Structure 1
Amino acid sequence: MDGDVHIRSIGTALPGPAIDNATLGRRLRMGGQWEQWVETFIGTRSRHLSIDLDTAKPAHSLADLCETAGRRALEGAGRAAEDVDLLVLATASPDLLMPTTANVVADRLRINGVPTYQIQSGCCGAFQALSLAQQLLAGGEYRNALVLGGDVSAKFYDFDLDFATLPPDQLVHYVLFGDGAGAAVLDRTSAPGAAVIRQLFTRLTGLDREPGQTLDWYGPGDRGSDRPPAIEDYKAIEERVPLMSAEILDELLDDTGWQRDEIDYLLPPQLSGRMTTKIVDLLALPGAYEISRVREIGNNGNATPFFQLESAFERAIPGQRLLGISVESSKWIKGGFAVETV
């Protein structure tokens, strides 16, 4: 056994059928150039939602999706519930404040008597969860960890709104995001098909910067407020995220000593289809295959890196190198990982 931490398996889960732009547009009562607007400014073709689109009633909880993803990851690693030493979950949209979704999922999976952690974060939360698990495993006290990430943003939808009058910074939330969950089994031992984590970091860089994204939490005292539940400063995001992505790439290359032409797979930030293309073009890794899922399943928040890793591992052969990059605009957090298949 070496001091490395390995990703042994990935599991993912999506709720319900894919919902294309035309179907979503009809439900939002959007006419005219709706589909053209989505394709031109967002670039997302479909997404999966945790609600029944006809009734607007919840159909899947975050715990439902994380349970499914977690089971699949454990099965892929050949691990049973009693083998798990540690569980970490990252989300920006927990089912409840308490009990935490992490503990509900642990109970459903029959995991007990181990440390459990829930990280409240946006797009970089999955990187934070992986980083926490990696550091705890590297300390030698634990052998393996189940790491989960997921979000169910559809529960914030209000179908009584007049969507044709919404400003773009609010309407974008009904188009950009999809719901889903992902999971990974991290282990101190390797196995065929595993990948070793060569570098992994997250870092807050938002000092004196206004948030680029806010997601409100309504309690009994302000539930009647007319504040929108979610706001996106898309202009600040378009300006800053590509530049921050380039900074993350440079740091990963410096830390690993890898050269730009030695990267086999690039897992870029999955803000939207259009933004992903812009970021990939800026990063300019000549031989890297881009792993993007946002065009088909939407921005899944904390589940996104797991979907990307799953797709990359399906293609990768031993000895190939992957770089993952994430930027969280809520308070401007950087995240990056370098992974090598073994």
Structure 2
Amino acid sequence: MAASDIGVAAVATELPGPPIDNATLGRTLHAGATFETWVDTFIGTRTRHLAMDLATGEVRSSLADLAEAAGRKALTAAGVAPGDVDLVVMGTSMPDSLLPTTVNLVADRLGIDGVPTYQLQSGCTGAMQALDIAHQLMLTGRHRIALVLGGDVCAKHVDLGMRFDTLSPGELVNTVLFGDGAGALVLTADPAPGAARLRRVLVRFVGRGKAPGQTVEWFGMGDRHEQRSALHEDFKAIEENVPTLAGQALTELIGAEGWQPADLDYLLPPQLSVRMTDRIVKRLALPRAEEVSCVGETGNTANALPFFQLERILPRMEPGQRAAAVAVESSKWITAGLALEAV
């Protein structure tokens, strides 16, 4: 089976709760008088959706809840019954539990059974890694319909009792950057005429010898009382590395397809933050590609982000149009991307 035979039948997303603006977030977290100005200047995110009710601390949605909702919508939009799905792959950095895996909880809820399921733990490139695995397995001809899931819920790392006005910028930035959400995509080996084809998926580990740019701790019964930060972001390293890595990934991705920068109609850039995305897009300097970004409204939903971006372009793509998406993971430096073409 050729790569051109794998098509995107449908994509869907799910967000928890209403949008939370910076003023509301700052007041709830007692983050200080300069919080809103700092967010606008250095981050640019305007709103995000959180699975936790900030007024009560109640967690309203799990990752399985959001992924189930997105998966159900994607299957319905694709006209695919759960029994027709023969492969499920999920990417997440924050599963609901270590075991059972969230992908299997979602498959069970959707009525999918007796098929291979895989869950990949990764940061902002996890969704691309899940797509890569599904794409490669489908190219063997053994699978006809795959459900690819991605998402993150960061409620387990939010402590409303903390003094956020005492946190270092490297710790506080995680509270501002991230939002919760999930996405789902149906791949088919029998795409409809005019549907977007998944031409290529790129995943590269590029972190040999580099210090991690982000650390997310996982506490168990033995070390839960240790006084160490659960999250830390080396934003300076990210600012220095991500634009360059994004450019390298895009060059490799479209070069492998024989495309030129001017051939792209849509660019789905990394979505760490509004300010970072602006820098990346400016550096890439594509002559005619339309930028497709959502991070200003959703926050950085990590492994859900590509689905939100794809949801914005797939209904608009006309035959002959091309799109490229790029993601960069800073935890130990991974580049990823995908190339789409409507046929």
Q: Deviations over 1:282-327 (max 9, x none)?
A: 0000101000000000000100000000111133222210000000
The match for 2:297 is 296
Q: Deviations over 1:252-280 (max 9, x none)?
A: 22101111111100000000000000000
The match for 2:91 is 90
**Equivalences for 1:10-159 in 2 at 5 Å?**
10-159=11-160
Is residue 9–residue 194 contact of structure 1 (8 Å, CA) maintained in 2? no
SS in 2 for 1:314: coil
Cα distance in 2 for partners of 1:224, 1:105 equals 31
Is residue 196–residue 339 contact of structure 1 (8 Å, CA) maintained in 2? yes
Worse-superposed segment, 194-203 or 112-121: 194-203
The match for 2:258 is 257
SS in 2 for 1:172: helix
Cα distance in 2 for partners of 1:193, 1:122 equals 32
Cα distance in 1 for partners of 2:315, 2:296 equals 19
Kindly provide the amino acid, as one letter, of the partner of residue 277 in structure 1: D
Question: Deviation of residue 20 (structure 1)?
Answer: 0.5
The match for 2:171 is 170
Is residue 218–residue 230 contact of structure 2 (8 Å, CA) maintained in 1? yes
SS in 2 for 1:239: helix
Is residue 50–residue 155 contact of structure 1 (8 Å, CA) maintained in 2? no
Question: Deviation of residue 31 (structure 1)?
Answer: 3.1
SS in 2 for 1:94: coil
Question: Deviation of residue 113 (structure 1)?
Answer: 0.5
Question: Deviation of residue 190 (structure 1)?
Answer: 1.1
CA RMSD of aligned residues (A): 1.0
Q: Is residue 226 from structure 1 mapped to residue 215 from structure 2 by the alignment?
A: no
Cα distance in 2 for partners of 1:295, 1:121 equals 22
Question: Deviation of residue 197 (structure 1)?
Answer: 1.3
Is residue 265–residue 321 contact of structure 1 (8 Å, CA) maintained in 2? yes
The match for 1:307 is 308
Question: Deviation of residue 2 (structure 1)?
Answer: 5.6
Is residue 51–residue 62 contact of structure 2 (8 Å, CA) maintained in 1? yes
SS in 2 for 1:315: coil
SS in 1 for 2:326: strand
SS in 2 for 1:141: coil
Kindly provide the amino acid, as one letter, of the partner of residue 26 in structure 1: R
Kindly provide the amino acid, as one letter, of the partner of residue 41 in structure 2: T
The match for 1:185 is 186
Cα distance in 1 for partners of 2:54, 2:321 equals 41
Structure 1 residues 41 and 186: CA distance shift in structure 2, 3 A? same
Q: Is residue 202 from structure 1 mapped to residue 203 from structure 2 by the alignment?
A: yes
Kindly provide the amino acid, as one letter, of the partner of residue 91 in structure 1: T
Kindly provide the amino acid, as one letter, of the partner of residue 236 in structure 2: K
Question: Deviation of residue 50 (structure 1)?
Answer: 0.5
Gaps of 5+ in 1: none
Q: Deviations over 1:197-256 (max 9, x none)?
A: 112110111111111001110000000011111100000000000000010111122101
Is residue 267–residue 322 contact of structure 1 (8 Å, CA) maintained in 2? yes
SS in 1 for 2:314: helix
SS in 2 for 1:114: coil
SS in 2 for 1:24: helix
The match for 2:327 is 326
**Equivalences for 1:276-295 in 2 at 5 Å?**
276-295=277-296
Kindly provide the amino acid, as one letter, of the partner of residue 115 in structure 1: P
Structure 1 residues 334 and 34: CA distance shift in structure 2, 3 A? same
Cα distance in 1 for partners of 2:311, 2:194 equals 12
Worse-superposed segment, 313-322 or 45-54: 313-322
- Percent identity, aligned pairs only, is 57
Structure 1 residues 7 and 284: CA distance shift in structure 2, 3 A? same
Cα distance in 2 for partners of 1:155, 1:15 equals 15
Kindly provide the amino acid, as one letter, of the partner of residue 290 in structure 1: E
Is residue 265–residue 323 contact of structure 2 (8 Å, CA) maintained in 1? yes
Cα distance in 1 for partners of 2:342, 2:28 equals 43
Cα distance in 2 for partners of 1:30, 1:135 equals 46
SS in 2 for 1:118: strand
TM (norm. structure 2) is: 0.98
Is residue 15–residue 180 contact of structure 2 (8 Å, CA) maintained in 1? yes
Cα distance in 1 for partners of 2:57, 2:235 equals 26
The match for 1:275 is 276
Q: Deviations over 1:4-25 (max 9, x none)?
A: 2111110100000000001101
